[in-house]
A and B are shown apart, each in its own frame.
Chain A
């Protein structure tokens, strides 16, 4: 794990703002692996977290919020839930049938602009997909899909 300090955090917020309209991230950001960003809202400081991490087997801190990919930041389903009040850009409205399909883990055949999109159905945010222009790839985690 690596704590993300202010200059890098600022860059991430800029990207989130550009992609999704998110401008506030009142959390400590922590990178797990190369590209997974987690958010932490507890009251331990950076130093305290680093000290704990040096002594304990830490499996996870906070919530897996986003993944940095080559062509942008992909928000997780749970990350979207946390920040949904701020999301204003790259939203695609889907109907009830499409939402059901999406939650079953299927890609959606929708012609739309390319890139990462937030799927929304009846005021409910249902995750982030990646559009090829013809099809939106599904990232709903396997264990979270409706069976």
Chain B
């Protein structure tokens, strides 16, 4: 099925520009796009230790690796499984692990959460990052996880239940409306995640149908929405609080342009933080078409799928200054 989907010429052209017209890099990017990444998952440390989980899964004949030395909870299934097999085990049903792409774990890793944090997950469904955050916070602190659609919230709720998450409040609001209400309540957060709704360019390996709906018009439309969400989220940060903005897109309109918008809007109240991720990433770009971005945006991380044999992501951490 997936081989029926082909990138549009404008998409190829844009990726080529992002990869500095490096022919080898472009070739590897598109060859890799036609393959599937390895199946990754995250051990739910609220319920089981990584060692115990590995022991149990290996008893099923699975070969498990832990690709990131500092993150024992992050695992890859090296053996080949039947379609859907990883989601049918007793261990999955009981919430001992959560199937999640490794790049999608990076925004929460960048936030460096702990159990005293007051954390807002602005666009939380289906809950991959909320459950990861709750585990890092040991089910303590405060998490507000928001989404708009009832259907997506029902998936979010089910995932939180299965993972044994007890410290989270799920709200259902358009995020701009939520931001307004939280401001009225004078509620501030020291950690915020804006994992913004995006074009999904970075997910083409797992969802090649993304090519079908892709257009530059869509990117521009999303960019406007993302700027409004990021701006509304930044207003909820307390002084010295940190916010991670992420998308699973390569498009500068959805990434650097949004960060530049925050820099222009909040000027001396905002600073981009350096982040060190445990996987290969490239710096944010400073020029796209006729637009120039701040040199500071190079501190953002562009994660290309072919650099890590994973999916693509953009992660940028910003701090609110006094």
Contact B93 A103 (CB under 8 A): yes
Size of interface on A: residues with Cβ below 8 Å to B? 32
CB closest chain-A residue, reference B94: A81
Set of chain A residues within 8 Å of B93, measured between Cβ atoms: 103, 144-146
Contact A27 B166 (CB under 8 A): yes
Chain A CB within 8 A of B260 CB = no
* Whole-angstrom distance between the Cβ of A99 and the nearest chain B Cβ: 8
Contact B185 A52 (CB under 8 A): yes
* Whole-angstrom distance between the Cβ of B55 and the nearest chain A Cβ: 13
Q: How large is the interface on B (under 10, 10 to 19, 20 to 34, 35 or more residues)?
A: 20 to 34
Contact A39 B166 (CB under 8 A): yes
Contact B173 A57 (CB under 8 A): yes
- Which residues of A81-130 have CB atoms within 8 Å of chain B's CB atoms? 81-82, 103, 124
**CB < 8 Å neighbour of B142 from A42, A57, A103, A145:** A42
**CB < 8 Å neighbour of A60 from B141, B157, B187:** B157
Set of chain B residues within 8 Å of A81, measured between Cβ atoms: 47, 94-95, 164
Set of chain B residues within 8 Å of A62, measured between Cβ atoms: 165-169
Residue from A42, A55, A147 whose CB has the most chain B CB atoms within 10 Å: A42
Set of chain B residues within 8 Å of A76, measured between Cβ atoms: 161
Set of chain A residues within 8 Å of B171, measured between Cβ atoms: 56-59
Secondary structure dominating the interface of A:
mixed
Chain B CB within 8 A of A63 CB = yes
Contact A42 B185 (CB under 8 A): no
Chain A CB within 8 A of B160 CB = yes
Contact B157 A42 (CB under 8 A): no
Chain B CB within 8 A of A43 CB = yes
**CB < 8 Å neighbour of B166 from A40, A124, A146:** A40
Chain A CB within 8 A of B139 CB = yes
The chain A residues found within 8 Å of chain B, CB to CB, are 27, 39-44, 49, 51-52, 55-64, 76-78, 81-82, 103, 124, 143-147
